[in-house]
Chains A and B, each alone.
Chain A
């Protein structure tokens, strides 16, 4: 028989061994050889903290009492793992992207980095998990008592034992878990210790199972026969419980703080999840494979004994001491790993969401950035929290008297943490989820859980008086804890889970629908819901007033001096800066916040960065809220924007109109003085010479003739000018009536050439291609001729080549007829090409023969006719292009 002292020695040796393993792992990681620590297999094994002492001992007891029902506790998580693609994949991505430290952190971060929500979730988690920790204490104590009962040499007091177990676990946890501050610096030591423990408990349980099936029963078929003839030999299952427990176990698997810790917080990449998605269900299968055989054998061989301890008592009573010690170590492993991770996960939550914010708030009156190292505060608060949580578990164990069956305690815990589900899932899948909705759902669910499950679990007369259980509080029967709304006769657990989760979901949904999330919530919501689309991170910080130095000081206090400097240096290099101080760009601030969040949680990190950036009192929420507090403001401002844009547009239009008017007025003045000039100039000659003719007696005859002809020419010039002016005025006012007629282009050009022909010798040679000109037209033939005359006359007048030549070429394209008039003169200077179609624009020396209205008139005519005239940009010669739309041409056919 193994003595109790011997057993304690074994335990201590085992713990020492775990320490060694953990220490070695951390050393390896520190040397950068820890890659294997992130292997998917280690991740999978670390998930095994789902299997606690409850599983190890309790499952057998559960099977002995209720048959196959125990298996639902494993089927639920298996289903969740099988469905990793749906939920877990998204959860771990969010966890990695946001640097989430706990489930409370996730929920608070999702709902606008709200610390009140984080505190609420933390409190719920502590209350929900405490029974579970008590359960571990109980199982270790019970297992010790089994050995004590067989060891006459020692007196064994359960209460004292439980205390020492709790004390030992607390020390163990503190030594293991609170050495590193940053939860993102993976806790390699713990992870590897848990992996080892996972193997130990699996091996222990399999060993007992194999011993039972092949050692005691004598083989599989014999075992099956025994099973069928045993008390639990018939398939007998409460269907409601079967469904509810499967569901509940699946939910708890997602929501338990310790599961969240190993599954989401410690996750490095999707590969880990891929392996775990089938390997972990395999682990669970193996863990539960021998549960029924052990239970059946236990029932058969030691009736009356506590079925929760069959795993131990079977080998013990059969003298298999070594196997019993192994089994004990298995149970011990299950309990220790669970307590370590659970208390650490809870301690992180308590420290990040309760202690630090309070400490920060107290510091806020002083300057937060000058006083001591926050790392010490965080570390201390985490250690104290671990102690408190394990202490709470011990108190619960003492208070509940350790009487409850293990499984029932575990399920109460499950139902408690399951209340996180609506807020968590809603948060990551539904952008409409709001903080108030989450708060409402959590409080409703949690309240119902406390009322219908937790309080009654202490037994009638425990916390709730007997009368409340049977008649309801103050005699309100529909509020009876085990028959809400008068639905009696349901299983207590099914009843509690059903009501708490449904009402939780409904409250969450309804309140979310009718509340409007704050801007930060919406930003975070969008980011989390769309995490798989690789959405860019929320640009939380826009202020850049932050002093880089202050930030560095703060970061040093949280991350440690060297790490913080390295971070700043790294960022400075990224920003292309020299030296060690990175610019506090929004991107960097966000990165910094995320790094800090890994140590102190999202909400706290946010607040701390906020203190430095915005100064106390101004949070980004405020900033954003100012900018777009509600959809109404947004809408209103967008309306204002529209209106102001409209006003600007109107003002611009008015200004334009005014400019146009001014321009018109200036143009009118210029036009009038031009007309005046053009009229007065010939008039001057006429008057001067007529006076000369009148007043000069001795004028020679040739002079008389000459002066008379000048008068005559100037009078003609005057008339032509007046004609042109009238013509232009009519054209510009649109009063012109077009006399449409049919003809061919050829005849028009013929007429124009003829009309432009001067009396006498014409030096200008006109080159034509008569074949191409044979195109029928329907248009105002006279007007078109006028344009052509003008162009030919201009060529004659201004072409300064020695042998002036004008080429008239006709091209027919789709929809248009193009007539080009190109001479071999020097062309028009580029600067003047713009103005040649303006009125009175005469270029170069003026021989007085034109008023500069010709081309202006041509342009007007072509516009009336639906065509256009343009200057041809050419390297040599002056060219004008007349385009006539073909619609007119076709109409003639």
Chain B
């Protein structure tokens, strides 16, 4: 069965690009623009990987990550964080909050694929 990845991102074009990449790599991609809905979905069905945008409308990526890590069953859930802000302190904040990988936009497609494969090996 295909592995399930949950993408939390508010830019439709970026969602489309990542969905294209990962689907071709055998992933089942579920995308949400809103942090709240994403959290509910995660609780319903725990994905194999979460790709999280840093800046989101409403609840931002960092908050979602912290909430996630506060629950025992999500402690080991792999999380790849994306940001467009490109500031060094964001990387620190993300790793402190429990992100497994941190990538700055714009990213190369290969780097994303590699990171995803590493974080959730088949």
Contact = CB atoms under 8 A, between A and B. Distances in A.
Q: Do any CB atoms of chain A lie under 8 A from CB atoms of chain B in the complex? A: yes
A689 B17 contact: yes
Nearest to B24: A696
A673 B18 contact: no
Chain B CB within 10 A, most for which of A685, A710, A714, A844: A685
Given A691-B109, A845-B33, A681 B17 contact: no
B14 interface: yes
A688 B17 contact: yes
A680 B17 CA distance: 15
Nearest to A703: B20
Contacts of A680: 84-86, 104-106
Nearest to A706: B16
A356 interface: no
Nearest to A687: B106
A686 interface: yes
17 contacts: A673-B86, A680-B84, A681-B11, A681-B105, A684-B106, A688-B18, A688-B21, A688-B109, A691-B108, A692-B20, A695-B109, A696-B24, A710-B13, A710-B16, A714-B13, A844-B57, A845-B33
A687 B84 contact: no
Given A688-B106, A846-B10, 14 more contacts: A673-B86, A676-B84, A676-B86, A680-B86, A680-B105, A684-B11, A684-B84, A684-B107, A686-B106, A688-B107, A691-B109, A692-B17, A710-B13, A845-B33
Interface residues of B, number: 25
A680 B54 CA distance: 13
Contacts of A681: 11, 14, 84, 105
Interface in B80-122: 84-87, 104-110
Interface in A686-726: 686-689, 691-692, 695-696, 710, 714
Interface in A791-848: 844-848
Contacts of A673: 85-87
Contacts of B46: none
Q: Please list the 8 inter-chain residue pairs (A to B) with the smallest Cβ-Cβ separation, ordered nearest first.
A: A688-B17, A680-B84, A685-B13, A684-B106, A684-B105, A687-B106, A677-B84, A673-B85
Given A710-B16, A844-B57, A683 B85 contact: no
Contacts, number: 68
Contact of B87 (A676, A685, A844): A676
Place the interface of chain A in its size category: 20 to 34
Interface in B54-97: 55, 57, 84-87
A384 B104 CA distance: 109
Interface of B: 10-14, 16-18, 20-21, 24, 33, 55, 57, 84-87, 104-110
Nearest to A669: B87
A717 to B, nearest CB: 10
Nearest to B108: A691
A694 to B, nearest CB: 9
B46 to A, nearest CB: 27
Contacts of B17: 684-685, 688-689, 692
Contacts of A846: 10, 57
A844 B56 CA distance: 11
B106 A676 contact: no
B85 to A, nearest CB: 4
A591 to B, nearest CB: 69
Contacts of B18: 688
A762 to B, nearest CB: 23
Nearest to B33: A845
Contacts of A685: 11, 13-14, 17
Chain A CB within 10 A, most for which of B12, B17, B24: B17
Contacts of A676: 84-87
Contacts of A683: 105-106
Chain A CB within 10 A, most for which of B13, B57, B85, B105: B13
A684 B107 CA distance: 7
Nearest to A848: B11
Contact of B14 (A684, A695, A844, A845): A684
Contacts of B106: 680, 683-684, 686-688
B66 to A, nearest CB: 20
Nearest to A691: B109
Interface in A652-696: 673, 676-677, 680-681, 683-689, 691-692, 695-696
Nearest to A675: B85
B13 A848 contact: yes
Contacts of A714: 13
Chain B CB within 10 A, most for which of A691, A844, A848: A691
Nearest to A674: B85
Nearest to B86: A676
A688 B11 CA distance: 13
Contacts of A696: 24
Contacts of B87: 673, 676
A385 to B, nearest CB: 93
B86 A848 contact: no
A845 B57 CA distance: 7
Contacts of A692: 17, 20-21, 109
A687 B12 CA distance: 15
A136 B22 CA distance: 133
A695 B17 CA distance: 13
Contacts of A684: 11, 14, 17, 84, 105-107
Given A683-B106, A844-B57, A688 B14 contact: yes
Nearest to B13: A685
B83 to A, nearest CB: 8
Contacts of B10: 845-846
Contacts of B84: 676-677, 680-681, 684
A842 to B, nearest CB: 8
A677 B14 CA distance: 13
A691 B87 CA distance: 25
A847 B12 CA distance: 8
A286 to B, nearest CB: 107
B62 to A, nearest CB: 13
B12 A848 contact: yes
A822 to B, nearest CB: 26
A673 B93 CA distance: 15
Nearest to A677: B84
Nearest to A699: B20
A369 B16 CA distance: 98
Chain B CB within 10 A, most for which of A684, A686, A687, A847: A684
A696 B109 CA distance: 11
B57 to A, nearest CB: 6
B58 to A, nearest CB: 9
A256 to B, nearest CB: 95
Nearest to A842: B57
Interface string A844-868: 1111100000000000000000000
Contacts of B55: 677
